[in-house]
Structure 1
Amino acid sequence: LPSLKVTVKNSLSRCLDKEIQRWKEDKEPEKLNGHFQSELLGIFVIQSIYSSQKRAEDISKAVGEELSRRLLKELPAFLRSYRDAFEDFKEKSKKHTYYKPILIANINNCCNFRDYTEKYVAEKEDSKADILSTLTDIENSGFDVLLQQLFAQLKPMYKKFTENKWDSSSEIMNEIIKTTSKHISDFKTLKDPFYHAIVEKIHARLVKEYIVRLLKRKVSLKTPAQQQTLAQHISKNAADLEAFCTSNGSQATWLNSALPKLAEIIRLQDLGAIKIEVATLATTYPDIRKRHLEAFLHIKANLSRSELKSILGYLADSTASTQPRAPLFSSINVS
């Protein structure tokens, strides 16, 4: 058994060395069904473990089970080495001709390891959570780099909303959508689960950045007519954003009501109706806090101090302690 375990460990190590060498070559990763892949790594690693388990089982069931336990400890260790090598490539090879395709191929690699782990590693095994956590690290680390450029390009575009006080907001939204669309087409080389994951991250960022602009206290409107006009702009932008994200495969439907609900609070003038809408917003997005709402209500300059206090108090009463499915407001800092 020890010799089999050492054999597997050595072959996994050689396999990773070969993979690292492949990253250094000036070659684009191969594509399979339109997705960048370097699947030999996953296939070879899994085969090494699987064939060794089978050989041990041929000796006896007890030997097979014992070796399986030992080999299962090798996979998390291998994946941690893989993650470290991937991080090293990510940091030191930014000028590589095929930098992004290689990142995408490595994210796609996680699919084989994930499928194998879900199928063959028992829930009670400590190594299962360890393996899945390391794979998530690799995937998210790759996503962060792939999205860096897009998010940097979007920042100044979103600033135009407050700079122009929402005049020409449709043109600004079209510019945001056009820029995002160019990047999304590059991400089609990700395997489907990862493509959906990255599109959901983009969807969340697009909604979040819009909310950030609404909380900047740069716009203060005194008349209901002015507020009505702003609410219409926001509703139109929200509809365009939702249509774009949905058409590109976003399944993050939980994000779709945030901007329409905020638009409705701006549109409404009856204090009771505003409170009901605030309560609904807080139920849907339980991570919204008083500081967010207070910054947002700066837009409604016709609210008296006592009305503002009353609305803010209502939020405190209605905010549930339930954790949101994913953070939206809690990731927004209010100055």
Structure 2
Amino acid sequence: MTKKIKEIFFKRPPKKNNIPAVLTLKQNLEACHFVDAGKQLITREDRLFELKQDGIGSKMKLMEEEEDSEARLAKDYEDWMKLVMQTLENSLDLQSPEKQELLKEAVQAILQEEEQDMRWERFQEKERPPWRPRRCKQNHEALLERLVRRRMEEAQLDSSVEIKSSLQQSIICHAKRLKEDLLKVVTWVSSCYPEQMNVCQFYATLYHKTFSARLREVAEYTLCDEDCILLLQWVNQEYPNILNSEKIKDVIDHTKLDPLLPEDMIAPLEEQFLITKEMELSTCLHKILDREETAWKEGELPQLRDQVYCCDQAIDIIECFHKHVECAQKVLGKEAKAQRIICQMRHFLTDYKTFHDKVMRSRQTNTEAVLMVNLSCLIQCRDYITKNAHLFSEDIKTDCLSLLATMTRSSHCYFTSDMHKELKDLYRKVGSREWLKDGEGVCEELLAKLDRHIQKFINWDKMCCQELLGGMHKEFLTEYVRKMMKQKVKLSKKAQQQMAASLLCINSEHIHTYFTAAGSNLDWLKDILPNLAGLLTLQDPDSIKLELVTLMDLYPDLSKRHISAWLRLKGNLSPSDLKMILKTITCNQNQFSEKQDSLQFSRSFFSTVRVK
């Protein structure tokens, strides 16, 4: 035997007195002392190998003894291995600390054998014993793999759970066994292994592969819609919930596990699901629309509640839409994948607009009441889309809001057109000499006439009334500013400019008080006229420029044309000063373009004031 091998395997320990009696191999095996028994076998293996290397067995008798020793060693090792593997095979049946200790012994014995294999790896194959390496760790992992596969195959359905689908039965019983066994690993098994072996992750990988194989078998068949949804739910929702459940999530890194189903299998299932959901959502939404159109054609009036016309169509539309979108997100696991069915809202609103236009053109006795409840529906749908913008792609959101805004404006025009016709003559007085003499009287006359029209809206649905009166508030001020910009009077003197500014502020207060009392919630409109009035009182061109910079920041849609028209009211502003001011503010026009999109559904005002 080489000196190197002797040094590694046969270093003699120092002599000790009073050494306790050593148990025999048989006694160690009976007591399940797998580590001590394993050490005894390794010692015999080392001694036997020493004999073979030294050539002591050259004589026939010694050769026979040597063969007997090797045969006995093989038999003893077989008995030892059998007991160790039986203990490992019962890993998931532990329910006591005593059984935990047995498993710890078995694990340590396996690792001890692995170390012996590694010791022999330093030598050439011809120098090693023929039975090395024994690969106990590999055998241990293979045994656990067989154990997991067997337990999953033997999984039984809970008889207390009522399930109709055979596929659902199969998936649920396998998933239940998977979760229960992983909890056992965490609770009982993990402490029996060294931390570096990461046994929880190992078991999770085995169960994951077995469960995945079962789902792949299922996915190869053509599934009905119900089973397709079930399979996607388990892949994207239920199974991740198991991995993220209490106790399991802290010891298992699910990111290291492969997908339950590969992309080429899951893509057709997702397509089947999306087609089904698109049809369901479209059918659900159009049933609501058909119901409303039928009631309108038959001359029915919307339901009265507290003397106010009401309709639940907005609630029905939003609930139907949100329920389907939420379901799609859960089943598919991602918001982005569910966005495809959101197109159905655009299709629905396009058809809703067709219905809305029919009602607008009709002369039926229920037209006004139907348009009123439709307006309430449009407002609620707009608010839903705005608050849940994350659900929609940018183009779908823009199209939907545009359709809703178009219908809202047409409803608004329907209810306010007569009012504007009657106020037309009175609007002409604004900005005239008569207004300059009695601006308060002109304003009060306008509001008094307006009030007769507004009274019919007071008992409307609060949401409709607020929307309608907010629009009227804005339109009233728009027309007021437009008439002022027509420059019917020239304010050449400072006193005239101050008087006009004072009238604008007084009128603004009266107008704002009236509309907010009636129901408008556009509080920001109160500053429009006072801000414009401030320009009239300024005399220094540089001060005017500074004030205009502030106003253009507040109102990005305040254009060069608006500024020119307003400053021309100042009869004492020279053409050269006006030109210089307009030239200075031109550079700010790019800011208006950049902010225009954000103003589309917010505080745009001057874009509605048309000036020549």
Q: Flag whether TM exceeds 0.5 (same fold).
A: yes
Query: Using a 3 Å threshold, how does the CA distance of structure 1 residues 106 and 297 change in structure 2: closer, same or farther?
Result: same
Distance 1:254 1:217 in 2: 26
Query: Using a 3 Å threshold, how does the CA distance of structure 1 residues 315 and 19 change in structure 2: closer, same or farther?
Result: same
- CA contact under 8 A between 2:431 and 2:483: conserved in structure 1? yes
CA apart distance, 1:201: 1.8
1:16 paired residue number: 289
CA apart distance, 1:141: 2.9
- CA contact under 8 A between 1:221 and 1:301: conserved in structure 2? yes
Structure 2 counterpart of 1:80, one-letter code: T
CA apart distance, 1:321: 0.6
| 1:143 correspondence with 2:412 | yes
Structure 1 counterpart of 2:295, one-letter code: R
Please point out which of 156, 165, 190 is paired with 2:425. Answer: 156
- CA contact under 8 A between 1:283 and 1:319: conserved in structure 2? no
Q: Could you state the TM-score of these two structures normalised by the residue count of structure 2?
A: 0.46
Of stretches 307-316 and 318-327 in structure 1, the one that deviates more from structure 2 is 318-327
- CA contact under 8 A between 1:228 and 1:266: conserved in structure 2? yes
SS at structure 2 position matched to 1:31: strand
2:366 paired residue number: 98
CA apart distance, 1:271: 3.6
SS at structure 1 position matched to 2:309: strand
Q: 1:111-142 CA deviation, whole Å, 9 max, x = no partner?
A: 66567767899615689625555444433332
SS at structure 2 position matched to 1:195: helix
- CA contact under 8 A between 2:325 and 2:342: conserved in structure 1? no
1:332 paired residue number: 609
Q: Could you state the TM-score of these two structures normalised by the residue count of structure 1?
A: 0.78
- Structure 1, unaligned stretches of length 5 or more? none
CA apart distance, 1:209: 1.1
- CA contact under 8 A between 2:376 and 2:463: conserved in structure 1? no
Structure 2 counterpart of 1:204, one-letter code: K
Q: After superposition, where does 1:1-335 map in structure 2 within 5 Å?
A: 1=225, 13=286, 15-32=288-305, 35-39=308-312, 41-42=313-314, 74-91=344-361, 93=362, 95-110=363-378, 113=381, 123=391, 129=397, 131-166=400-435, 167-188=437-458, 190-317=460-587, 321-322=591-592, 323=595, 325=599, 326-335=603-612
- Structure 2, unaligned stretches of length 5 or more? 1-224, 226-274
CA apart distance, 1:278: 2.8
Over the aligned positions, Cα root-mean-square deviation in angstroms equals 3.9
Distance 2:276 2:559 in 1: 59
SS at structure 1 position matched to 2:609: coil
Query: Using a 3 Å threshold, how does the CA distance of structure 1 residues 279 and 319 change in structure 2: closer, same or farther?
Result: farther
Query: Using a 3 Å threshold, how does the CA distance of structure 1 residues 8 and 176 change in structure 2: closer, same or farther?
Result: same
SS at structure 2 position matched to 1:247: helix
Q: 1:271-305 CA deviation, whole Å, 9 max, x = no partner?
A: 44333333332222222233222222222212223
Q: 1:243-294 CA deviation, whole Å, 9 max, x = no partner?
A: 2223234332332222112222222334443333333322222222332222
Q: 1:174-210 CA deviation, whole Å, 9 max, x = no partner?
A: 1222233333343345544443333222222122111
CA apart distance, 1:103: 0.5
SS at structure 1 position matched to 2:375: helix
Q: RCO (CA 8 Å, sep 6+): is it higher in 1 or 2?
A: 1
Distance 2:319 2:572 in 1: 69
Query: Using a 3 Å threshold, how does the CA distance of structure 1 residues 207 and 321 change in structure 2: closer, same or farther?
Result: same
- CA contact under 8 A between 1:117 and 1:128: conserved in structure 2? no
Query: Using a 3 Å threshold, how does the CA distance of structure 1 residues 164 and 83 change in structure 2: closer, same or farther?
Result: same
Distance 1:297 1:117 in 2: 41
Distance 1:285 1:162 in 2: 22
Query: Using a 3 Å threshold, how does the CA distance of structure 1 residues 132 and 281 change in structure 2: closer, same or farther?
Result: closer
Of stretches 45-54 and 129-138 in structure 1, the one that deviates more from structure 2 is 45-54
Distance 2:291 2:356 in 1: 13
Query: Using a 3 Å threshold, how does the CA distance of structure 1 residues 61 and 142 change in structure 2: closer, same or farther?
Result: same
Larger Rg: 2
- Size of the aligned set, in residue pairs, is 327
